[in-house]
Structure 1
Amino acid sequence: MDNLTNYHTHSLYCDGSASIEDFVKEAIRQGFSSYGVSSHSPIPFDTCWNMNRGDLPAYLDEVHFIKKKYEGRIEIYCGLEIDYLGAEYNPSSPFFQELPLDYRIGSVHFLKTEEGYVDIDTAPEQFKETVFRYFDGNIRKLVEKYFDTMMQMIDTGGFDFVGHADKVSMNASSFLPGITREHWYKSLIHEYFEFIAQKECMIEINTKAWRSKRLFFPNREHFGLIHKLHIPVVVNADTHHPSLVNDGRFDALKEMLSEGFTHVRQLSGGQWINVEIGSL
């Protein structure tokens, strides 16, 4: 496959299962042209999967070291997946903008409630408890809150691309099968992607759940709309284990081609460029 890339990777600095160098070695073995490291950013409360703020200097130093070590064999880029937690803590915050990063992913994993921020990127049973405890059992209320928060993040900016743009669909569909086919959901999705296009944002096609659930984020059913709106796309595996650096990419590109896409975005020489989808 031509032009192998992946800019969404989680290592031992957050919830990944291997060192940064292990991922890079596997990317080189598979013939990648460039590879990005993007640990979950520190946030102002404890989780089991975000990086500790005190580890940031070591993280930045290690990626810089690996860039130099493998220079000439693969382009390595240093990023962070940064949570949107309102106006005071998001990818556009001075703290994140001043870090020596090559790119930033803007993502929403938490929603603000009266009791504070609650994680919605959880196991289905925990998600179900969240719907009843914080949203009165109303899944529509949670979904609308999610997309409203995503649009706030997009409006605020400070990121290079939107991470897993509709990931809530996975747990929402588990809670209420068929929810993505309901009229209000379809209208909300159209409004959401039209806003992304208006703001001229790039999104990722996230393939993390393809192997296990046959799901992309955004969902496959939205590829036609994304193409129609001329939203630029980068394909990422959201990798947590080195063996999965290329997981789902072939299938995502194949489905994109079927909807009329001819190019994807990738980093080259430190710049985002359009690259023709090569032979599959």
Structure 2
Amino acid sequence: MSNRTGNLTNYHSHSLYCDGRANMEDFIRFALSEGFTSYGFSSHAPLPFSTAWTMEWDAMDDYLAEFHRLKAKYAGQIELYIGLEIDYLNEESNPSVVRFRELPLDYRIGSVHLLYDDKGEIVDVDVTADKFRRVVDKHFNGDLVRVVHLYYDRLMRMVELGGFDIVGHADKMHYNASAYHPGLLDEPWYDALIQEYFDAIARKGYIVEINTKSYLELGTFYPNERYFPVLLEKGIRVQVNSDSHYPERINNGRLQALMALQASGYHTVTEMYSNEWKDMPLLIHT
């Protein structure tokens, strides 16, 4: 594709410190080769239990030290920033808790990946559509409506508590839920949930990322493209992030997302320069 954009930034990125597939420096080198101007790392923050996809607390000092080593090494070539993607799990583990607030980070992403089922078991709903179907049937008696409400209840509580800058993959469940129940996004009750959610985000002033991780594979952004005009109407700032786990994928879907934002009426995207979020012109060159 010959189209180029001036908005070569990414703030949602994973490395070997969590479930990413390369070290930080590999991502930086690829970002430089692609002409990126600003790049941030956002490893999955520690949870109260070990997982295959989150950092452990005992790796935090190394994570921060390695970042600062690389920031110094590449100074003058690219602006580098350090963050975390922090899950809302419960009232004791979420972006607003003191332990996360006290970390010397440049920014934080707030996300929801996990729900509690009726037995109090923690269930991962950020899975493939086939696995999601099995999760809903096994853990929630096939009650998709309830699962969707649980998900948005948690997102709303996360938004209310705060402690972060960027809403991560804002409606990521929409793809799996729509695969389970085609036509879901057109149902009034679902639209009411989405509108309430984006209203809360607008009141708090958070940035919403247009997450492009699944675009080439599944043909969708998070949030869904149908909501881009809604975000604009509510005055919500946006940025394009690839949620990349592989260096070579940091630019995947970016041009398509920027074009979709432009078609929806957006003229700016929010990027970090000189340690400040700035609204930059949305630029697409052919």
TM-score by length of 2: 0.95
Does the 8 Å CA contact 2:259/2:284 hold for their aligned counterparts?
A: no
SS of 2:284's equivalent in the other structure is coil
Equivalent in the alignment of 1:244: 249
Indicate whether 1:159 and 2:172 are aligned: no
Post-superposition offset of 1:123: 2.2
Q: Which moved more, 1:234-243 or 1:123-132?
A: 123-132
Equivalent in the alignment of 1:97: 101
**Structure 1 Cα separation of the partners of residues 120 and 96 of structure 2:** 25
2:14 aligns with one of 10, 13, 23: 10
CA RMSD across the alignment: 1.1
1:80 aligns with one of 78, 84, 101: 84
Equivalent in the alignment of 1:222: 227
TM-score by length of 1: 0.97
Equivalent in the alignment of 1:54: 58
1:127 aligns with one of 119, 129, 132: 132
Q: Which string of whole-angstrom CA distances, capped at 9 and with x for unpartnered residues, describes residues 56-77 of structure 1?
A: 1111111111100000000000
Equivalent in the alignment of 1:26: 30
SS of 2:177's equivalent in the other structure is helix
Unaligned runs of 5+ in 1: none
Counterpart of 2:87, as a letter, is: D
**Structure 2 Cα separation of the partners of residues 252 and 16 of structure 1:** 22
Does the 8 Å CA contact 2:14/2:243 hold for their aligned counterparts?
A: yes
**Structure 2 Cα separation of the partners of residues 61 and 87 of structure 1:** 29
Post-superposition offset of 1:46: 2.3
Counterpart of 1:261, as a letter, is: Y
Post-superposition offset of 1:266: 0.4
Counterpart of 2:181, as a letter, is: L
Q: Which string of whole-angstrom CA distances, capped at 9 and with x for unpartnered residues, describes residues 254-276 of structure 1?
A: 01111110000000000101001
Equivalent in the alignment of 2:185: 180
SS of 1:174's equivalent in the other structure is helix
Post-superposition offset of 1:51: 1.2
Does the 8 Å CA contact 2:19/2:54 hold for their aligned counterparts?
A: yes
Q: Which moved more, 1:209-218 or 1:198-207?
A: 198-207
1:139 aligns with one of 144, 164, 180: 144
Post-superposition offset of 1:111: 1.1
Matched residues, number: 280
SS of 1:13's equivalent in the other structure is coil
Post-superposition offset of 1:181: 1.6
1:71 aligns with one of 64, 67, 75: 75
**Structure 2 Cα separation of the partners of residues 57 and 117 of structure 1:** 28
The structure 1 segments of at least 4 consecutive aligned residues displaced by more than 4 Å after TM superposition are: none
Determine what percentage of the aligned residue pairs are the same residue: 46
Q: Which moved more, 1:173-182 or 1:236-245?
A: 173-182
**Structure 1 Cα separation of the partners of residues 236 and 188 of structure 2:** 23
**Structure 1 Cα separation of the partners of residues 63 and 78 of structure 2:** 19
**Structure 1 Cα separation of the partners of residues 138 and 49 of structure 2:** 20
Post-superposition offset of 1:124: 2.4
Q: Which moved more, 1:180-189 or 1:11-20?
A: 180-189
Unaligned runs of 5+ in 2: none
**Structure 2 Cα separation of the partners of residues 201 and 59 of structure 1:** 25
Q: Which moved more, 1:221-230 or 1:119-128?
A: 119-128
**Structure 2 Cα separation of the partners of residues 212 and 226 of structure 1:** 24
Counterpart of 2:103, as a letter, is: L
Indicate whether 1:35 and 2:59 are aligned: no
